Chains A and B, each alone.
Chain A
Amino acid sequence: DIQMTQTPSSMPASLGERVTISCRASQGISNYLNWYQQKPDGTIKPLIYYTSNLQSGVPSRFSGSGSGTDYSLTISSLEPEDFAMYYCQQYDSSPWTFGGGTNLELK
């Protein structure tokens, strides 16, 4: 199974700040990497697919990059609604696996 290691697990940040969340796969995943946002009520919102493609309706302040085993999600300027949990997920090979999550919280 491919292990996904997400860092940091918790990130205090301020409004307007630029933040980056990292995700490392235990083996190469050929850019088959998704990012999700989860709010406290459990709602899951897909943000990015195939490393760097924004899902429909996702603001342009979100971006994704990476290759091989190392990937990242960047939010260029934090808005109040961005404080949430974030997860990466690989879909290169079964079983599809997720990172442990990053809790982006207001400093």
Chain B
Amino acid sequence: EVQLVESGGGLVQPGRSLKLSCVASGFTFNNYWMTWIRQAPGKGLEWVASITNTGGSTYYPDSVKGRFTISRDNAKSTLYLQMNSLRSEDTATYYCTRRFDYWGQGVMVTVSS
């Protein structure tokens, strides 16, 4: 059974950093692109970052480019999202997804002083 379990969320002050993790199981992790998606409270879904199966290429929308870094450790079947210079508008539930066909349960990030 495919499982994606996010962790690392919490309350953080504006301008600080936070690193999310997503542990994958039930499939060959290094065969798949992985992606982070977020959803602000009461809002829709927004693509945040994607990474190729080898980790050799990464992709971001302009809203997070230069502040967020997606990475992966294929030996640990784990996906990461390093979030720096956090802003109040980054407050959201963050989901990891395997090529959009399996999703984790999400982890909440709140950016507030």
Contact = CB atoms under 8 A, between A and B. Distances in A.
Nearest to A100: B44
B105 A49 contact: no
Interface stretch (A13-21, A63-71, A88-96): A88-96
B95 interface: yes
Question: How big is chain B's contact interface, by range?
Answer: 10 to 19
B44 A46 contact: no
B61 interface: yes
A82 B17 CA distance: 38
A51 interface: no
B45 A89 contact: yes
A91 B44 contact: no
Given A34-B100, A44-B95, A49-B100, A95 B105 contact: no
